[in-house]
Structure 1
Amino acid sequence: MEEQYAAHLSDYTTWNQLDHAEDHVVFPENIGEYLTIDETSLSQGELYTVVTNKAAKGNKGCLVAIIKGTDSERFKSILIRNIALEKRQLVKEVTLDMAASMEQIVTKTFTKATLVTDRFHVQKLAYDAVQQMRIEYRWEALDQENKEIELSKELNKAFIPNRLENGDTPKQLLARSRYLLFKRKELWSPSQVLRAEILFRLYPKLEQAYDLTQKLGHIYQTVKDKGVAFTKLARWYNDVEQAGFKSFNTVSRTIQQHYLTILNYFERRSTNAAAESFNAKIKAFRSQFRGVRNVSFFLYRLSKIYA
């Protein structure tokens, strides 16, 4: 049926983008004032850069371009050939992640657009830093338990693990605390409250790191003024530096390098959620057809729905 659809029932063979579809497809008519840009993998790890129009809300007309790779110069040349300068200069804002290639693509292609760093990518860095600390503590707990097991064998005694008041061993405590460190305290279940109390008592630095992530989230959730955000983010940055956690070094450097585009979020509170949502639709579409055997035909079907 798929072969019949491609060869006879559809207009795939006469599609005006067929000759270059595997490399790029562009739909100038779908460009708008507020865009998102992100990368996705269609098949076998091959990355494609996807530009979507927020105004279409993930429906027909949202797809502006899908271009193979993430090279900014190549992306620029393709869009310049296919989208007139007047249309590209209509773009007021583009939300994106913190990849340097994405920033270069936007600044070179949509020259009058404001860049907005997605808040969830910034917050994810902070959460990852906390998880890294948790994992390091867990490795230490595993190492300690192995030493105790070896000692028990040398003394010909049965190994009895150290049980905490909630029944967890130290390594279990650290393994089972993963999800509670992503959640706000008011969302913890009773068992998570007890586990967190024990965790933070044994590892006070982990509580300090957790509090830093919650403060960052609170800034994003409550602040609606760019000037106030500037002050609060500066204070948060100072708190991170004073804490001196190695795992937070990447977070502080990233904020320093993307300060202006991070602050732009507080003008319209724009996120890259539309791009992430569209990526999820691509993955669902790919899953429905058991993968991508023919990239051109896959993009043709995708464009029929979303372009």
Structure 2
Amino acid sequence: MTSLDLGNYGKLGFGGAGIGNLYRAIPDGEALATVLAAWDAGIRYFDTAPHYGLGLSEQRLGAVLRDEPRDQFVISTKVGRLLEPSPNGGQDPEGFDVPATTRRVWDFSEKGIRRSIEDSLERLGLDHVDIAYLHDPDVHDLQAGISQGLPALEKLRSEGVVKAIGVGINSAEAALECVEAAELDLVMLAGRYTLLEQPDVPLLERCVERSTGVVSVGAYNSGLLARADVPDDAHYNYDQAPPEVLERARTLAAVCREYGVELPTAALQFPLRHPAVVNVTAGATSPEQVATNAARMDAPVPEELWEALEGVGR
């Protein structure tokens, strides 16, 4: 296991999907200003992936971070999707507002993972990344991820190519299989342990036992918990939130108001209450969003509120 302690780099991380033009195009200047705002807010953990904007997120993140002292920040990227030239052109079909000059090709082999890291370093303009996550093995092929991808990452860590390894994943059950199969340093878990969803997650207890840190992403559940007042058109799991989910989110918001706390503040801080969680990483597409996330993470929340929210979330 690695000696990298992500907790030493702050409770809040910066997620790079938004600056990869997720759902809408962002001008270069605004994207770079957003990364700079994260640095100025004291954020020192940055996450990206080739998947995010077909490499655009990595390019933009590197354009800022390569000018900062390399020993003062941690950066993670992901492996498992290689970017190959695309003969078809057009726009990216996977939700990023970018030209489809390349296409994603799944590859969990050691050769593919090594190439993925090399390609990412070229886009970032850095000489190393600190953390490599196997990206979405639950989406592509979990067994190939376990039998090929994770051993390849363990080998890269032993060689010093990266300091830490993990999986970036949406399924807590699949993540648990990965934790049992390899000596992982981190699990980046999207949306499965939030203020809205407070199930008993065996993964988290196992991560505590194995000293595997959890990076929580998707704390706002696709935007459902991102505003103090939950609108009718709020999204949940990347789709329109059903009526019963809207009602539960509004109940959470009402309880928060009773204690003088806004819903998104409680949502952002909630995952850190579990001892397995070492960081909450949130995306942003403007300097204002970065400042808002940083303020929410630092805002005081009374212990009594957490006790009141526990029953609602379950």
- Greater fraction strand: 2
* Structure with a larger share of its residues in helix: 1
Same fold (TM over 0.5): no
TM-score (norm 1): 0.28
TM-score by length of 2: 0.28
Between structure 1 and structure 2, the one with the greater Rg is: 1
Q: Pick 1 or 2: higher relative contact order, CA cutoff 8 A, min separation 6.
A: 1
